Amino acid sequence: MRLQLLRERVLELDAVLITHTHADHIMGMDDLRCFELRTGRHMPVYAQPHDHEVIRRVFAYAFGEFPPGIHVPRFDLRDVPTELEVGGMFIQTFIVPHGPTPVVGLRVGDMAYLTDVSAIPDAVRPMLEGLGTLILDAVRIKPHPNHFHFDRAKEVAAEIGAKITYFTHLSHDFDHDLTEERDLPPNIRLAYDGLRLDVAL
Ligand SMILES: [Zn+2]
Protein backbone atom coordinates (compact mmCIF):
# COMPACT_ATOMS: atom_id res chain seq x y z
CA MET A 1 0.00 0.00 0.00
CA ARG A 2 2.71 2.46 1.02
CA LEU A 3 4.77 1.77 -2.11
CA GLN A 4 1.72 2.14 -4.35
CA LEU A 5 0.64 5.41 -2.72
CA LEU A 6 4.13 6.84 -3.15
CA ARG A 7 4.56 5.57 -6.70
CA GLU A 8 1.22 7.02 -7.82
CA ARG A 9 1.62 10.18 -5.70
CA VAL A 10 -1.73 9.66 -4.01
CA LEU A 11 -1.94 12.58 -1.59
CA GLU A 12 -5.65 12.48 -0.86
CA LEU A 13 -8.07 9.63 -0.38
CA ASP A 14 -11.81 10.13 0.08
CA ALA A 15 -12.72 6.62 1.23
CA VAL A 16 -11.72 2.97 1.15
CA LEU A 17 -13.89 0.12 -0.10
CA ILE A 18 -12.96 -3.33 1.21
CA THR A 19 -14.09 -6.16 -1.06
CA HIS A 20 -13.36 -8.79 1.62
CA THR A 21 -10.90 -9.27 4.45
CA HIS A 22 -8.46 -11.88 3.17
CA ALA A 23 -4.95 -10.88 4.19
CA ASP A 24 -3.84 -9.83 0.72
CA HIS A 25 -6.70 -7.31 0.63
CA ILE A 26 -6.41 -5.62 4.03
CA MET A 27 -2.86 -5.88 5.34
CA GLY A 28 -1.96 -2.52 3.78
CA MET A 29 -4.58 -0.70 5.82
CA ASP A 30 -2.04 0.39 8.44
CA ASP A 31 -0.51 2.66 5.79
CA LEU A 32 -3.76 4.65 5.71
CA ARG A 33 -2.52 6.36 8.88
CA CYS A 34 -0.69 8.94 6.74
CA PHE A 35 -4.06 10.36 5.63
CA GLU A 36 -5.29 10.62 9.22
CA LEU A 37 -2.03 12.42 10.05
CA ARG A 38 -2.59 14.93 7.22
CA THR A 39 -6.28 15.57 7.72
CA GLY A 40 -7.17 14.52 11.27
CA ARG A 41 -10.16 12.80 9.70
CA HIS A 42 -11.06 9.18 10.35
CA MET A 43 -10.91 7.34 7.02
CA PRO A 44 -14.34 6.18 5.84
CA VAL A 45 -13.98 2.43 5.26
CA TYR A 46 -16.86 0.67 3.56
CA ALA A 47 -16.98 -3.07 4.29
CA GLN A 48 -19.56 -5.81 4.79
CA PRO A 49 -20.76 -6.07 8.44
CA HIS A 50 -18.96 -9.37 9.09
CA ASP A 51 -15.78 -7.78 7.75
CA HIS A 52 -16.05 -4.95 10.31
CA GLU A 53 -15.35 -7.57 12.97
CA VAL A 54 -12.25 -8.81 11.16
CA ILE A 55 -10.91 -5.28 10.70
CA ARG A 56 -11.52 -4.51 14.39
CA ARG A 57 -9.67 -7.68 15.37
CA VAL A 58 -6.71 -7.39 12.98
CA PHE A 59 -6.26 -3.64 13.55
CA ALA A 60 -7.41 -3.52 17.19
CA TYR A 61 -4.95 -0.69 17.93
CA ALA A 62 -6.70 1.52 15.37
CA PHE A 63 -9.74 1.52 17.64
CA GLY A 64 -7.85 1.89 20.93
CA GLU A 65 -7.29 4.91 23.18
CA PHE A 66 -3.90 6.64 23.08
CA PRO A 67 -2.52 9.75 24.77
CA PRO A 68 -2.29 12.91 22.60
CA GLY A 69 0.60 12.92 20.14
CA ILE A 70 0.43 9.24 19.30
CA HIS A 71 -0.91 8.56 15.84
CA VAL A 72 -2.52 5.35 14.68
CA PRO A 73 -4.71 4.76 11.65
CA ARG A 74 -8.34 5.60 12.39
CA PHE A 75 -11.16 3.90 10.52
CA ASP A 76 -14.75 5.05 10.29
CA LEU A 77 -16.34 1.66 9.49
CA ARG A 78 -19.48 1.81 7.36
CA ASP A 79 -21.67 -0.83 5.73
CA VAL A 80 -21.41 -1.17 1.95
CA PRO A 81 -24.50 0.41 0.40
CA THR A 82 -25.73 -0.78 -2.99
CA GLU A 83 -25.22 2.76 -4.28
CA LEU A 84 -22.51 5.06 -3.07
CA GLU A 85 -21.31 8.49 -4.11
CA VAL A 86 -17.74 9.26 -3.19
CA GLY A 87 -15.02 11.44 -4.68
CA GLY A 88 -17.37 12.59 -7.44
CA MET A 89 -17.98 9.00 -8.52
CA PHE A 90 -21.23 7.09 -8.46
CA ILE A 91 -20.48 3.50 -7.44
CA GLN A 92 -22.87 0.56 -7.55
CA THR A 93 -21.98 -2.49 -5.49
CA PHE A 94 -23.08 -6.10 -5.52
CA ILE A 95 -22.06 -9.38 -3.91
CA VAL A 96 -20.34 -12.26 -5.71
CA PRO A 97 -19.09 -15.56 -4.27
CA HIS A 98 -15.38 -16.19 -3.74
CA GLY A 99 -15.81 -19.87 -2.81
CA PRO A 100 -17.61 -19.63 0.55
CA THR A 101 -16.74 -15.93 1.04
CA PRO A 102 -19.07 -13.15 -0.11
CA VAL A 103 -17.08 -10.46 -1.90
CA VAL A 104 -18.07 -6.94 -2.94
CA GLY A 105 -17.95 -6.29 -6.68
CA LEU A 106 -18.44 -2.81 -8.01
CA ARG A 107 -19.39 -0.83 -11.05
CA VAL A 108 -18.33 2.75 -11.75
CA GLY A 109 -19.66 4.21 -15.00
CA ASP A 110 -18.77 1.72 -17.75
CA MET A 111 -16.18 -0.15 -15.64
CA ALA A 112 -16.75 -3.13 -13.36
CA TYR A 113 -14.24 -4.55 -10.89
CA LEU A 114 -14.55 -8.19 -9.90
CA THR A 115 -11.59 -9.58 -8.04
CA ASP A 116 -11.64 -12.78 -6.00
CA VAL A 117 -14.68 -14.33 -7.61
CA SER A 118 -15.64 -17.92 -8.42
CA ALA A 119 -19.09 -17.42 -10.01
CA ILE A 120 -21.32 -14.66 -11.40
CA PRO A 121 -24.81 -14.97 -9.90
CA ASP A 122 -27.66 -14.43 -12.38
CA ALA A 123 -28.91 -11.51 -10.29
CA VAL A 124 -25.58 -9.71 -10.88
CA ARG A 125 -25.49 -10.15 -14.67
CA PRO A 126 -27.63 -7.05 -15.42
CA MET A 127 -25.07 -4.95 -13.52
CA LEU A 128 -22.42 -6.11 -16.00
CA GLU A 129 -24.20 -5.12 -19.22
CA GLY A 130 -22.73 -2.55 -21.60
CA LEU A 131 -19.30 -2.47 -19.99
CA GLY A 132 -16.39 -0.64 -21.56
CA THR A 133 -13.91 -2.19 -19.14
CA LEU A 134 -14.12 -5.28 -16.97
CA ILE A 135 -11.45 -6.16 -14.41
CA LEU A 136 -11.71 -9.85 -13.64
CA ASP A 137 -10.02 -12.41 -11.39
CA ALA A 138 -7.88 -15.00 -13.21
CA VAL A 139 -5.69 -16.37 -10.48
CA ARG A 140 -3.81 -19.21 -12.13
CA ILE A 141 -3.77 -21.77 -14.94
CA LYS A 142 -5.16 -24.73 -12.96
CA PRO A 143 -8.75 -24.67 -11.65
CA HIS A 144 -9.13 -23.15 -8.18
CA PRO A 145 -12.09 -23.67 -5.82
CA ASN A 146 -12.34 -20.00 -4.84
CA HIS A 147 -11.21 -18.09 -7.94
CA PHE A 148 -11.77 -18.11 -11.69
CA HIS A 149 -8.81 -19.78 -13.34
CA PHE A 150 -7.46 -18.74 -16.72
CA ASP A 151 -9.74 -20.75 -19.05
CA ARG A 152 -12.86 -20.07 -17.00
CA ALA A 153 -12.03 -16.37 -16.80
CA LYS A 154 -11.77 -16.28 -20.60
CA GLU A 155 -15.23 -17.86 -20.88
CA VAL A 156 -16.72 -15.44 -18.37
CA ALA A 157 -15.07 -12.46 -20.09
CA ALA A 158 -16.63 -13.58 -23.40
CA GLU A 159 -20.06 -14.03 -21.77
CA ILE A 160 -19.99 -10.56 -20.20
CA GLY A 161 -18.62 -9.04 -23.39
CA ALA A 162 -16.95 -5.86 -22.16
CA LYS A 163 -15.07 -3.89 -24.82
CA ILE A 164 -11.89 -4.77 -22.98
CA THR A 165 -11.27 -7.12 -20.07
CA TYR A 166 -8.20 -7.00 -17.84
CA PHE A 167 -7.31 -10.08 -15.85
CA THR A 168 -6.06 -9.40 -12.34
CA HIS A 169 -5.01 -11.22 -9.16
CA LEU A 170 -2.49 -13.01 -11.39
CA SER A 171 -0.08 -15.50 -9.91
CA HIS A 172 3.37 -16.42 -11.16
CA ASP A 173 1.81 -18.86 -13.63
CA PHE A 174 1.71 -16.12 -16.23
CA ASP A 175 4.46 -14.78 -18.48
CA HIS A 176 2.88 -11.41 -19.23
CA ASP A 177 4.02 -10.88 -22.84
CA LEU A 178 3.78 -14.51 -23.89
CA THR A 179 0.29 -14.96 -22.44
CA GLU A 180 -1.02 -11.84 -24.17
CA GLU A 181 0.56 -12.76 -27.49
CA ARG A 182 -0.21 -16.46 -27.55
CA ASP A 183 -3.20 -17.18 -25.35
CA LEU A 184 -5.49 -14.15 -25.35
CA PRO A 185 -7.67 -12.34 -27.88
CA PRO A 186 -6.93 -8.61 -28.32
CA ASN A 187 -9.86 -7.60 -26.09
CA ILE A 188 -8.47 -9.47 -23.07
CA ARG A 189 -5.24 -8.17 -21.54
CA LEU A 190 -3.33 -8.80 -18.34
CA ALA A 191 -3.45 -6.00 -15.79
CA TYR A 192 -0.22 -4.74 -14.24
CA ASP A 193 0.92 -2.45 -11.42
CA GLY A 194 0.49 1.16 -12.48
CA LEU A 195 -2.13 0.44 -15.16
CA ARG A 196 -4.36 3.50 -15.64
CA LEU A 197 -7.82 3.25 -17.14
CA ASP A 198 -10.20 5.79 -18.61
CA VAL A 199 -13.68 5.34 -17.20
CA ALA A 200 -16.77 6.83 -18.86
CA LEU A 201 -18.68 8.06 -15.79
ZN1 LIG B 1 -9.59 -13.49 -1.36
**What are the pLDDT tens digits along the chain (201 aa)?**
999 999 999 999 999 999 999 999 999 999 999 998 889 899 999 999 999 999 999 999 999 999 988 889 999 999 999 999 998 999 999 999 999 999 999 999 999 999 999 999 999 999 999 999 999 999 999 999 999 999 999 999 999 999 999 999 999 999 999 999 999 999 999 999 999 999 998
Whole-number Å distance, alpha carbon 142 to ligand 1 midpoint, is: 17
Q: What residue numbers bound the domain in which 42 lies?
A: 1-80
Ligand 1: distance of its center to the CA of 65 in Å? 31
> Terminal CA-to-CA distance of the chain, rounded, Å?
26
Looking at the fold, whether 64 and 100 belong to one and the same domain comes out as: no
Residue 118 sits in the same domain as residue 147: yes
Do 104 and 19 contact (CB within 8 A), yes or no? yes
Query: Near ion ligand 1, which residues have CB within 5 Å?
Result: 22, 116
Structural contact between residues 144 and 113, judged by C-beta atoms closer than 8 angstroms:
no
147 near 137, Cβ under 8 Å?
A: yes
Q: Measure 20 CA to ligand 1 centroid, in angstroms.
A: 7
Domain final residue pick, 34, 51, 80: 80
Strands (E), the chain: 16-17, 43-46, 75-78, 83-86, 89-98, 101-108, 111-114, 133-137, 164-168, 188-190
